[in-house]
Each structure stands twice: as C-alpha cells, then as structure tokens.
C-alpha cells in the first residue's frame, strides 16, 4: 500500500524525479532559484524538518539498482567544471525565459528544447 492505494505483489512502481522535485508540497516555490532552502537552520525547527523532507525526496540520479551509472562522474563535473565555467563565462537569458522558464521536453529524461541565451567570455 502506497498513499492508501493497494498494489498487488510483484507490481513495478516507479516515479518521475522531475515531477517529485517540482512538487510544491515538498519544495516550496520549486521553480524559483532559492539555494538557501538547503542551508541548515540552527534554531528553526520547521525549516530543519522541511530540509530533511526535501533531502528524502531528492534523487536526481535515481535510486537503488537503477541509479545512474555516471553519478560519480556527473558529481565530479558539477563540483569542478561548473564553477570554472561560471567563473570564466557570462550567461544572459533572452526573451521571456525569466518569466516562463526554460522550455523543456519531458519524455523519459528532461531536456531543454531551446536555449534562449547568449554565452560570452567574462569581462569582454
């Protein structure tokens, strides 16, 4: 039984990570850039329990036997290459992407269908 719904034994159950990560009951204002939502709250019990709930629901690389095989490489890239790119390049979004968000296609994996932006060398 999951969420008061019975599934017969042997039933394969799956979930879409993107849908879970954009659930406003778990991630308040999910489309808003709010990195501080992940910070520790020293004396705010509500924020601490909210952070724990988000951590439990966050699985960008999948879980269990179907975890992404490239997880460690992707994490390494995020921690090393991404800061260098941000340090050396400016990215400016064009059009109404700030209001409407980046256009994406959701089939099995989420991918951007368009990148309405300009990337330039920082300082030029």
- The terminus-to-terminus CA distance of the chain in angstroms comes to 58
> What is the DSSP pairing of strand 89-93 with strand 117-121?
antiparallel
Dig out the tokens for 44 from the structure.
């705010």
Please report the DSSP string for 67-109 in residue order. --TTHHHHHHHHHHHHHHHHHHEEEEE-TTHHHH---EEESSS
Tell me: is residue 68 an annotated ligand-binding position: yes
Binding-site annotation: residue ranges: 68
Binding-site annotation: residue ranges for heme: 68
């Amino acid at each position: 039984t999951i969420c008061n719904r019975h599934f017969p034994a042997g039933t394969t159950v799956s979930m879409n990570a993107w849908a879970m990560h954009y659930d406003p009951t778990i991630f308040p204002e999910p489309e808003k850039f709010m990195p501080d939502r992940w910070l520790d709250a020293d004396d705010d019990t509500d924020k601490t329990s909210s952070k724990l709930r988000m951590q439990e629901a966050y699985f960008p690389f999948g879980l269990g036997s179907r975890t992404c095989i490239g997880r460690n490489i992707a994490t390494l890239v995020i921690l090393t290459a991404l800061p260098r790119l941000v340090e050396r390049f400016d990215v400016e979004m064009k059009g109404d992407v700030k209001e409407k968000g980046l256009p994406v296609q959701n089939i099995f994996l989420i991918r951007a269908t368009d990148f309405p932006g300009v990337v330039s060398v920082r300082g030029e």
